[in-house]
Structure 1
Amino acid sequence: MKWIKIMFCILLCCISASAMAQSITVNDTYTAQNLVDLLTKNSSCASTSSASVSGDTFTGTQNSYGYFNSGTSTFPFTEGVLLSTWSSSNSVGPFLRNQGGGNSSWKGDLDLDQALGIKSINASVLEFDFVPLTNFISFNYIFASNEYQDDFPCRFSDGFAFLIKENSSAAIYKNIAVLPNTITPVSSENVHPIISFTNSSGSTSGCSALNEQYFGQSNTSTTSSSPINYSGQTIALNAQTEVIAGNSYHIKLVIADDEFVYYDSAVFLQAGSFVSKVDLGADRLLATNNGICFGQTYLIDTKLPPSYSYKWFKNNILLTTETDPSYTVTDAGTYKVEITLNPSTCIATNQITIEYTPEILLNNQTMIQCDADGDGISVFDLTKMDTAIKGNDPSLSAVVYYKTLSDAKAAINPITNPKNYNNTSANQIVYARVSNNYGCSNYAQLNLQISNNTIPTQNPITTCDGDTTQDGLYRFDLNSQVSMQVLQGLPQGLTVEYYLNLTDAVMQNNSLPNIFNNTVPNQQIIYARIINGADCYDITPITLVVNTFNPRDFQEENTFLCNGTAISLTVATGYSSYLWNTGATTNIITVSSAGDYSVKVSNGNGCEATKTFHINPSGIATITGAEIIDFSGNQNSILIEYTGVGNYEFSLDTSYFQNDPKFEGIAPGTYLAYVRDKNGCGLSVPYPVYVLDYPRFFTPNGDGFNDTWRIKNLDLLPKSTVTIYNRYGKLLKQLNSSAIYWNGFFNGHILPADDYWFSLNFEDGKIIKGHFSLKR
């Protein structure tokens, strides 16, 4: 059994050795000066003094500060200074979940409290004085903490700061342990990934990521290879600040728990990273929109004493004549300076890359405007030259105009009304300022000149009012009717625009369309602006005249022509010309056929008017028959049937004519139908019409009234017969053209009052049946 225990111990030692081999090592016996020398690597570029260190006050044998070495682990720094809020040896990995160390008797730091606004406890402090020989210091560090557990980063953070101040009575500390380009202190609350935590009861809590790009990694209790015993850490960060070469400074590097001793933190300072550097500023690159504008110079200034020795390089080539503390750059390149810091033998070096923006290419321009009143002052729309000045480069900014070049360069007092700017003198020069996407500017001149061209007085442009309303308003084709006259004798390439008034013509506002209807009746003045490219050649008034021609009695006429006759069509004499659609050229023609006839006449101004005659055919109608409804009492009617092309009226007695060929409520009898042409062409040949009917009763009482029953006009139908029956169908009487009535007797006997029936048989086979009453 003993050998088994020996093997177990050997295995445990191997595992421990393997784990240690993957973790950092810590030595907490270093003095304050040892730690400062380690941090500065005894650099001669910054002299240090008055080093002191303080920390753990309760263990007696362990320090909360010390030296660390990465060994074979993956920790980013090979070696350096460690400051923590518990025994520094506890920082050795791997990470083991714990609540930490510390003691309430181990106090915090008042300067840290003031810098971060916390109430600290268990503070570790390394501080010293130094005198930089350059104008810039920096060092590298990593912050690690056991507060990168659960949801603690959402609520808690230990505090640390790198406090620096000049050694003078009025100086105050400045914290340079901040996120890049901010004043935000580095802490687990300010730098962490997304936090989502579920506790043992199943409740969840968390918060969004904050400055996650500066978070390095999380370590868990299962991550046996974590080099340090902290649950999370930042990436390697850099603390930096400007200083004044030769002045004395005090720096205080401090870390502490915030209020409670639990869950410790540490800061790892990279050995040799505390250096006095040369600050040449950030690279001036196009990619970061920080390039130098084309044509400008850039001063690289070390801001160090001229007593130092300087070597300047451009693209690694020594500039043999440059030995000053500063160098003026005129073109792109990577510039490096190498400085020997006297009286020490320290050499400081740094470089900066300079890129130049592309040149902004602008074009000087001249703009010529017309002068309405000849005083040498006019209105210019400067914006019309924007595209020409910029060379049609859409990447450039809008053009801004100034009265002087100095104003343009200072970007002050711009011309506020560039679309209607009044020049202040003949041939005035204004200045255009244009910028690119990098904020660089260039300038161009715009020469404002007044045109001295003149155009001869123009003849009026006349036209006739060619529509039906002779109101003196009509359309003009300005290009074809006016421009040819205006441009006659002028140089080639000119164009013309038209405006209602002189002001619009000068300003080029509200140009008229080519097809223009005058707005002032009969005569109106408009203005022609003659253009030479973007310039005004001259402006001249144009008189537009609209001649009206409205002859009397020229409205359309409608008339009728009777078949077989002729008619004369005439208009007044005295016009300059006549032209009928028949080809005749007189004021009168005779026509013998219906149709549309028109005559066009003209006056002395060449204006024309047209009169149209609509000749409609007419004639005597021919009656072709009649549709008769009879044996219907007061419903008897006659519908005259006819042919003809006229406009007709109708009559049954030549005394009364009606428009409707149908006559209703006609009494039985003989009629002559007539059709008359309303247009005066005449009366038709009469047409006889017969309407038959029978009495509805008769009274054969011998009083001489209504003593017989007969069908009126039956004698006109000699081949028709009427048969009379009693209610039982017994034949009582037969009537015809020779026996035309019945007296109410049968075989010499008087028949009683009663209803009797009849049947009327026409020659064409038509049969009409009815009944009537015999009353006594």
Structure 2
Amino acid sequence: MKIKSLLFLLAFFCFFQKAKAQYIKVDDTFSTQYLVEKVLVNSSCAQVSDFKETGDTFTAGKKSLGFFDFNGTSFPFKQGIFLSTWSSNNTPGPYDNQRGGGSRNWSGDPDLDAALGILSINATVIEFDFVPLTDYVSFNYFFASNEYQSYFPCEFSDGFAFLIKEKGSTTPYKNLAVLPGTTTPVSSKVVHPLINPVNTNNGVQPGCPAINENFFNGYNTSNSPINYAGQTKVFTAETKVTAGKTYHIKLVVADDREEVFDSAVFIEAGSFSSKIDLGTDRLVVTNNPVCFGEQLLLNTNLPATNSYEWFRNGIKINGANQPTYQVTSAGTYRVDVAFSPTCIISEEIKIEYTPDLILNNSTLVQCDIDADGLTSYDLSTIDANLKSNDANITKTTWHDNLIDAQNSTNGIANLTSFSNTSPNQILYVRASSKYGCYKIATVTLSTATTVVPSPNPIAICDEDAIQDGLHPFNLATLVTPQLLNGLPTGLVAEYYLSFADALAEKNKIGPVFTNTQAFQQTIYARIKNGLDCYGITPVTLVVNTFDPVNFEDETLFLCAGSSVSLSVNSGFSSYLWNTGATTASITVQQVGTYTVTITNDKGCKKIKTFIVKTSEKAIYENAVVKDFAGNKNTITINYKGKGDYEFSLDGTNYQDNPVFTNVAPGSYTISIRDKNGCGITTSDFIYVLDYPRFFTPNGDGYNDTWKINNLSSLPQSRIVIFDRYGKLLKELTSASDSWNGTFTGTPLPSNDYWFQLIFADGKIIKGHFSLKR
């Protein structure tokens, strides 16, 4: 019970959804004459006759063509006629992806085969005769097909054609169902999006790239108004004809080889009629507006026997009653042509004009060194001035004569170096816009013979560290004011390395320029009046060097309580010290930085700096002696002072280090000398003590006793001597005492003996020596 209820609800829902959806309505009961006269043409201006049709005769009570109504859907046409390759009742939606089919006995159409090169089957045809009243006919249509699925558009397409030819003519039909601007017939093979590879029972079909995708209107779904897989966008079939002649029209659609996967053509009601062709709209957006100042002739190409009325923006133009009308201003123009009281055909066209191109006649003045009226011009310099920055001008060309300019032929190739062939020669400039519009202006090539006097040489001093005669010149401040002094206001100066560059305005230099030729160089100034040359004159640049000898910066020292003289060479034009002094030398008594600026006879300056530092004689404090080390004794000098000092133990040999090493025993006088000349400080005697390492008491008068020399420098000290067993042998208590190698008057044997030097502060130095006999 529950399953049955569910199936009932599902069936009810599907029925409701189908009833709710909207699809076109079709009616195949109308005659061919009715479909042509009342639907396709539907105008009192039409002259149609001799109506015929062929199509589906294999579906009982049904045809394969008929009338359609959009039935409130989004269908492109509200009403019209259709021709299909299957029964008419299959055409309305929804799209259900039927395989379709007709009959193998339902034949094709030989005219369609000839027009498209196919082998057709299941053809549906409407034919009639037509007498046009004008020279132009058209109608609107689109093509729908079930071939728009799977990989089919890559290989298959049903065929259709709208064929026309003069009645009774033996010439082939002309097919009007072609892509715009081509002779390519419209089909699903030439209008489709990208087709991806497809898996089929016969293997993978590779698909194909998109072609004319902009004409494809999309695939359909189950809610589509018609039962076809996809369709093209709306096309207009159109052609020129001769008014009054009889033409035969044949509308035909058919399957190609196979009767399955059917197609249809939908033609808009009322769209087939004689029309007046005034041409395409002339609009800016479509890049074909009418050029400013031009006239456009609108021509109906109809005889004057008809009645004509012309309108601009919906307002009738008085006196405009001919087959043609000359347009001179923008607007929407319409013509109503009355062929009879009941037959009036109208056509309109939209006209827009381009803005006027701004191009000024001009004169270009160039300097002429020999005043013969012939010189070289850079025509490109005036190009922007001619156009006044008009953004509508996209191209300019220069020509020797007006005819070449009008025809855009024989343009001047080299604009940057053009030599005139006659004084005051006139050139013609053609300016074009992107719309193909143009305007011509003249440029007169004139010459200036103004003589601008050269200024006096412009001299500066080489202020660089390297006096090489090369230095920057600020031409704008050093040269230009002198050049323009006394000349008319509004002139400007530009500078070049050569006269040729100045004439051609090539390789401009400055405004800051460093000469490339040392010491002296000539450059050329071009005086300009706007874009014109006022005159060209040479300018001499001079670089003076100034490199006095012995002018390096110095550092001097001022001894405490004294003064120091600062001086430079004499013979210069002027001196200026930072103290305010103006002499070649000064005497100072304070430390600090002193500068002197000297100036030579050319006005070049040089600055020397003196740094005066303090210095003084050293103050000796003491010396620290480390002795009793043989020749490895040291003396360290302690001192105070702000000078730069060196030290000596003999008053002759000096060293920078106050520590003396490897000092031999003896007495010394310390000297401290200021390197900056502020004096020498000396000390009292100092002594470096040591003891003999052996003595020989053999009575020969040489080295017979043992003692420590200079012990007198250490008062209140004593020496005690021991044998190797620690027995006290001798005590020396004065500097004059010595030991003769005896104990209680008895000579001691050769041996090593030990001593202790005991200072007053309790410090003890121990050592040993040898007695040799």
Same fold (TM over 0.5): yes
Cα-to-partner distance string for 1:586-643 (whole Å, 9 max, x where unaligned): 6676778887776655554444556677777777666543332211122112344556
Which residue of the partner structure matches residue 758 of structure 2?
Answer: 761
Separation in 1, partners of 2:551, 2:149: 106
Once the two structures are overlaid, the 10-residue window that deviates more, 370-379 or 293-302, is: 370-379
Separation in 2, partners of 1:94, 1:715: 140
Conservation of the 8 A alpha-carbon contact between 1:405 and 1:431? yes
Quickly say closer, same or farther: Cα 1:151–1:579, change in 2 above 3 A: closer
Matching of residue 26 in structure 1 with residue 27 in structure 2: yes
Selected match of 1:391 from 379, 388, 392: 388
Amino acid in structure 1 at the alignment position of 2:731: Q
Q: CA deviation at 1:737?
A: 1.6
Quickly say closer, same or farther: Cα 1:648–1:26, change in 2 above 3 A: closer
Matching of residue 68 in structure 1 with residue 67 in structure 2: yes
The 5 Å alignment of 1:33-432 reads 36-38=36-38, 41=41, 45=45, 47-48=47-48, 51-56=51-56, 64-70=63-69, 74=73, 80-88=80-88, 91=91, 98-148=98-148, 152-153=152-153, 156-166=156-166, 171-190=171-190, 211=213, 214-215=216-217, 218=220, 220=222, 230=228, 237-341=235-339, 346-394=343-391, 396-397=393-394, 399-432=396-429
Conservation of the 8 A alpha-carbon contact between 1:478 and 1:515? yes
Conservation of the 8 A alpha-carbon contact between 2:669 and 2:682? no
Amino acid in structure 2 at the alignment position of 1:165: K
Separation in 2, partners of 1:159, 1:175: 12
Separation in 2, partners of 1:19, 1:645: 114
Q: CA deviation at 1:146?
A: 4.0
Q: CA deviation at 1:522?
A: 3.0
- SS where residue 260 of structure 1 aligns? coil
Separation in 2, partners of 1:656, 1:197: 105
Identity in percent: 52
Q: CA deviation at 1:464?
A: 3.9
Q: CA deviation at 1:331?
A: 0.5
Separation in 2, partners of 1:472, 1:761: 80
Conservation of the 8 A alpha-carbon contact between 1:715 and 1:740? no
Separation in 2, partners of 1:459, 1:436: 51
Conservation of the 8 A alpha-carbon contact between 1:146 and 1:231? yes
Which residue of the partner structure matches residue 7 of structure 2?
Answer: none
Q: CA deviation at 1:329?
A: 0.6
Separation in 2, partners of 1:643, 1:725: 45
- SS where residue 537 of structure 1 aligns? strand
Q: CA deviation at 1:260?
A: 0.9
Quickly say closer, same or farther: Cα 1:560–1:90, change in 2 above 3 A: closer
Q: CA deviation at 1:556?
A: 6.0
Unaligned runs of 5+ in 1: 1-13
The 5 Å alignment of 1:605-620 reads 605-608=602-605
Conservation of the 8 A alpha-carbon contact between 1:377 and 1:424? yes
Separation in 2, partners of 1:482, 1:583: 34
Matching of residue 516 in structure 1 with residue 513 in structure 2: yes
Separation in 1, partners of 2:491, 2:70: 87
Count how many residue pairs are aligned between Structure 1 and Structure 2: 754
Quickly say closer, same or farther: Cα 1:642–1:243, change in 2 above 3 A: same
Quickly say closer, same or farther: Cα 1:169–1:772, change in 2 above 3 A: farther
Amino acid in structure 1 at the alignment position of 2:131: V
Separation in 2, partners of 1:276, 1:517: 81
Selected match of 1:663 from 657, 660, 663: 660
Which residue of the partner structure matches residue 483 of structure 2?
Answer: 486
Separation in 1, partners of 2:25, 2:735: 158
Separation in 2, partners of 1:477, 1:105: 100
Give the TM-score normalised by structure 2: 0.82
Which residue of the partner structure matches residue 457 of structure 2?
Answer: 460
Quickly say closer, same or farther: Cα 1:655–1:568, change in 2 above 3 A: closer
Conservation of the 8 A alpha-carbon contact between 2:650 and 2:670? yes
Q: CA deviation at 1:351?
A: 1.1
Which residue of the partner structure matches residue 742 of structure 1?
Answer: 739
Quickly say closer, same or farther: Cα 1:279–1:722, change in 2 above 3 A: same
Which residue of the partner structure matches residue 531 of structure 2?
Answer: 534
Once the two structures are overlaid, the 10-residue window that deviates more, 538-547 or 206-215, is: 206-215
Separation in 2, partners of 1:20, 1:699: 146
Conservation of the 8 A alpha-carbon contact between 2:216 and 2:231? no
Which residue of the partner structure matches residue 11 of structure 1?
Answer: none
- SS where residue 663 of structure 2 aligns? coil
Amino acid in structure 2 at the alignment position of 1:243: V
Conservation of the 8 A alpha-carbon contact between 1:65 and 1:81? no
- SS where residue 113 of structure 2 aligns? helix
Once the two structures are overlaid, the 10-residue window that deviates more, 437-446 or 240-249, is: 437-446
- SS where residue 712 of structure 2 aligns? helix
Q: CA deviation at 1:20?
A: 14
Amino acid in structure 1 at the alignment position of 2:494: E
Q: CA deviation at 1:89?
A: 5.4
- SS where residue 397 of structure 1 aligns? strand
Cα-to-partner distance string for 1:699-748 (whole Å, 9 max, x where unaligned): 55666665543222113323212233455655443222256333444445
Which residue of the partner structure matches residue 9 of structure 1?
Answer: none
Cα-to-partner distance string for 1:667-698 (whole Å, 9 max, x where unaligned): 21122334556677776546422110123444
CA RMSD of aligned residues (A): 4.5
- SS where residue 264 of structure 2 aligns? strand
- SS where residue 241 of structure 1 aligns? strand
Quickly say closer, same or farther: Cα 1:746–1:107, change in 2 above 3 A: farther
Q: CA deviation at 1:330?
A: 0.5
Matching of residue 690 in structure 1 with residue 690 in structure 2: no
Once the two structures are overlaid, the 10-residue window that deviates more, 318-327 or 413-422, is: 413-422
Cα-to-partner distance string for 1:441-482 (whole Å, 9 max, x where unaligned): 334444443224332343223344445544444444433433
Once the two structures are overlaid, the 10-residue window that deviates more, 311-320 or 472-481, is: 472-481
Selected match of 2:706 from 694, 706, 709: 709
Which residue of the partner structure matches residue 627 of structure 2?
Answer: 630
- SS where residue 664 of structure 2 aligns? coil
Quickly say closer, same or farther: Cα 1:553–1:89, change in 2 above 3 A: closer
Separation in 2, partners of 1:667, 1:71: 133
Q: CA deviation at 1:350?
A: 0.9
Conservation of the 8 A alpha-carbon contact between 1:217 and 1:234? no
Separation in 1, partners of 2:461, 2:469: 8
Separation in 2, partners of 1:578, 1:86: 117
Quickly say closer, same or farther: Cα 1:357–1:688, change in 2 above 3 A: same
Conservation of the 8 A alpha-carbon contact between 2:40 and 2:268? no
Quickly say closer, same or farther: Cα 1:107–1:652, change in 2 above 3 A: same
Quickly say closer, same or farther: Cα 1:40–1:455, change in 2 above 3 A: same
Give the TM-score normalised by structure 1: 0.82
Conservation of the 8 A alpha-carbon contact between 2:367 and 2:535? yes
Amino acid in structure 2 at the alignment position of 1:108: G
